[in-house]
Structure 1
């Protein structure tokens, strides 16, 4: 998935992947975790997700988003003011609770993020085809060398029944991608078969969402 694909989605407002409410698993999973805030919260490929506002209750949130329009809408739709500065290859949208680095995720540098204690991935990994998923995880390691925890929401369906995005990423693949981690724990499973995923309905025989807690 090249950058132009996602930029075109935002320009044409083809954003069926955008969830119009806070993800239902987010508060449930957080209530189960004995997690103490340490460092900022990083949300890669964040779009204009309302989850970032919810997460800001637990610490400073840093998003990373390719599309400038998504960043603008993120603040404007909540009538929040923001300041934009250019820093290297990125623009930084600044706000007391949530900042967003606008630009290519793969060009981000660790010093731009600082100390990250939690990573939140709602739909970043599943937005990418396999070669890019490997690069995505490698970049995540560079940006967040640890100690850090990742709350990952992934999706499984028969891959021959639909071409992504979103892509099907099995539990086996998740464990392979994060084989360097100290722990990979499956926290929750949500059966979405026959139901909507964000704003879309998929014609697949099963659709399963899984939440993982990964620490390294």
Structure 2
């Protein structure tokens, strides 16, 4: 999957993955992580999600990474946030109070901006990668996160042959097998969400589940 795929999606505003409200599972499960106010939290492939605002409202310092420049600029403009922009290596850093977003390639993001991170949140990053790129993402995320960082991961699972991703299906078995070398893993919830996703119903996908995991970097 090339960067042009995502740039084209944003250019044509085919962004069905974007929610116009804070993710309900984030609200329900984030408090269980018990991160102290002032903690730094990393959000990979953040887009323009309102989840960034929610995390900031919890007193956290939020650091996002997003490939598409338009998505980053829309986040700040749509939320009426003043922003400063600074070039940092291969990335452009957009910063306002409590929220910083590094615009550029996640795989080329240096570790230095995340050295003080103690939390992370992935709702739409892991499931954005096809199977052949997914492990590369996990390895890159693990390299960026300091040991003992605690995070929330939200995934979807369904019969992959029934629908072309993204979002791609990620099974519990894959998570346990491929991510356990890097993270302690606890599944907090798995729910049937087929009825709430018309695209999947229209394509006659037989089942769809959404899971929430608590991860701790080893």
Task: Give me the TM-score of the superposition, normalised by structure 1.
Answer: 0.94
Moved over 4 A (4+): none
Is 1:118 aligned to 2:119, yes or no?
Answer: yes
Deviation at 1:94, TM superposition (A): 0.5
For the residue of structure 2 that corresponds to 1:194, the secondary structure is helix
Per-residue displacement from partner, 1:153-209 (whole Å, max 9, x unpaired)?
A: 00001111011110000001011221224521001123211222xxx6212111110
2:211 corresponds to = 210
2:194 corresponds to = 193
Matched-pair contact (CA < 8 Å) for 2:65–2:102: yes
Is 1:2 aligned to 2:5, yes or no?
Answer: no
Is 1:25 aligned to 2:25, yes or no?
Answer: yes
| Cα pair distance change 1:131/1:83, threshold 3 Å | same
For the residue of structure 2 that corresponds to 1:80, the secondary structure is coil
Deviation at 1:38, TM superposition (A): 7.2
User: Aligned equivalents of 1:24 and 1:95: distance in 2?
Assistant: 25
1:55 corresponds to = 55
1:98 corresponds to = 99
Count of aligned residue pairs for this structure pair:
213
Q: Which runs of 5+ in 1 are unaligned?
A: none
1:153 corresponds to = 154
Task: Give me the TM-score of the superposition, normalised by structure 2.
Answer: 0.93
1:136 corresponds to = 137
Q: Which runs of 5+ in 2 are unaligned?
A: none
1:43 corresponds to = 43
For the residue of structure 2 that corresponds to 1:201, the secondary structure is helix
